[in-house]
Structure 1
Amino acid sequence: MLLLLCLTLLTAAQGSASKVSGSGSTEVQFGGEAHFECTVDPAKGVRQVTWQRSFKDESIENLATFSSRFGQEVNAAYQGKVEFTRAALNSTSIRLRSVSWEDESCYICLFNMYPDGSKRKHTCLTVTGVSSVNTSTALLQKEEEELHAFSCSATGKPAPSIHWELPPDAAVDNQTETTTSRNSDGTFTSSRSVTLRAPPVWSGMVDCVLNQGTSGERRRRIRSGNLEEITKESSGSVSRSHLVVIATASCLALCLGAVAAAAALRCKSRSKMATPMAEEV
C-alpha cells in the first residue's frame, strides 16, 4: 500500500513538472537578424521571464526581462539591439538586430517560477559572412602600353574566397592567388589582385565576387575610371600626372612673367610723366 502511494505521488510530481522548449537562430550572416523563442508548459507559478547571454569565460549578462508587474525591460546596453517580439509569462521571443562578430554567443531564456525555482533553455549563435570590403584600381604605364590593375580585399569568417569576373575586351596580364591573414578577433582578411591589358582609353570595369556560389555571396564592382594611383614602371616613361604638373607650372610661369613685365612698363611710364620740364633762358 505504501509503495503504491509513493508511485502515485511520484507520477503526479512528474506530470506537473514544467518543461521548457525553445528554438532560434544558430547561424546568421554578419549584419543580419537573429531570432530566439521559448515556451514553458505548464506555466503555473511563473513570476518573470529573463533573457541572458553567456560568454566564453562562463560569465552571464542579462539582456531583457518581462514580468506582469514591470512589463518589458531591456538592459540599457542592449536598447536598440535587442527587442521583444513576444512577451508573456508562458511564451517569449526576442530579435537581435544588426548582428556583429561580438554577438556570437549562447542565448538563454530563463523562467523564474515559484516554488519550482528556474527553468531554462539555451541556443548558441555563430556569426558568418563578410564585414568589410576594400577595393582599389591603378593605371600602370609600361613602355608604350597601359595596364589596368585592380585589387580587392575582404574581412569575414570563415576566410572569404575571392573570384574575378572580367570583361571580354580586356586580357589578363597578371593575376595573383588569394592571400589570407588571421585577425585578432578571429576573423580573416583575404586579398587578391589582377592586372589587365586593354585597348587605349579603356574605361571598363571588373567584378570582385566574394564567397561565390554560397548564400552569403557578395560582389563589388570596380571601375577603371576611379584611378587612385598612377605608377611608372618604365624608367624612360613619364606618367600623365607629371605631364599635367609640368604644363601647369609652365603656364603659371608665363602668366607671372607677363604680369611682371606689364607692371614694370607702367612704372616706367609714370616716372617719365612725373619729371618736370626745364625752363628756357
Structure 2
Amino acid sequence: MDVRRLETLLMLSRLGSMRAVADEMYTTTSTVSQQIAALGREAGTPLVEPEGRRVRLTPAGRRLAEHAVTILAALEAAKLDLDPAAEPAGTLRVAGFGTAIRRSLMPVAAGLADDHPKVRVRIHEHEPTEALALIASDDIDLALTYDFNLAPAPLDRSVTAHPLWSVPWALGVPSGDEPLDAPAPAVFTRYRDAEWIVNSRGSADEEVVRTIAGMAGFDPLVTHRADSLLLLQDLVVAGLGVGLLPSDQPTRAGVRLLPLRDPTPILRTYAVVRAGRTGWPPLALLLNLLQAVPH
C-alpha cells in the first residue's frame, strides 16, 4: 500500500473531513478523495461512506487507520535507524491539565519549532479523565495527567505512564487562622465543621480529602467545587471553605498554607502514551524532552 495514501487516511480519521485534510496537506479535496479511493482499491474494500454532505470512515477504514499508526511509526523509525541524522517529522496531539502544560510542555514547545521544525505540536487543555479518554479513542498521541499518592489512578494496560514531576500539597485556610504543626488528621480535625472546596472536573483531590478526614474520624462537608485553584483561593479568602493547594506555588493575600504530614498528599504527574507507540520518533523525542525539563 502506498505510504502517502496511508498518511492521508490517518489524517482523515483524525481531522474528520476531506476539506480539513486538504487544508493541512496544502492540496485540494479532489486530490484527497482520489488518494482515499485509490487506497480503497488497494485494500479491496471501501474505506469511506457518505454521511450527509460529508464522508466518514467505514469499519474497514477505521481498522486500516489504526494499522496506519503502527505502519507509519515503524517506517519513520526505520528511516532514522538507517539515517540517524534524519529529522523526526509529524504532528503530535497533546492533551493535559493546565499546570502541566505550562510547567512541562510550554518550555519544550518553545524550542521545538526551532530545533525540530518538522515536528508540530497541537495542544488541548483537558483534565486527566478527559485526556485518558482521548488517548483510548486515539484522538491524541500524549496525555499529561496526574494522580495523588493517596488516590492512585488505575491505568489500562493499553497505555504506558512515564513519571514527570511531583509536589506535596497543603491545606489552604484563611490567613488569620493560627499555624498548626501536626499530623494531617489533626490538622483536618480543626476544620471538621468547616465547608470544603474540591475540584469540579476531577475527583482525585476529593478522594484525598475524604481519606484524611476519614483518618480523623469525620465525613467532610463538600459544598463548593472549583476547577481553578485561583478561584479556590478566592473562596477561602471569602470565608466560604478550605481546600487543598500545591505547596510549591505562591498564594494570594488572605490564604495560609498548613503543611500536611503523616500522611502527606503528593500530586504526581505523568506523560501517558498508547503502549507500543514510543517507537514513533516524534513521540519519542517529545517524551525525552518532557522528562528532561528541570522541576
Q: Which has the larger share of strand? A: 1
**Greater RCO between the two (CA within 8 Å, min separation 6)?**
2
Q: Which has the larger share of helix? A: 2
TM-score by length of 2: 0.23
Bigger radius of gyration among the two: 1
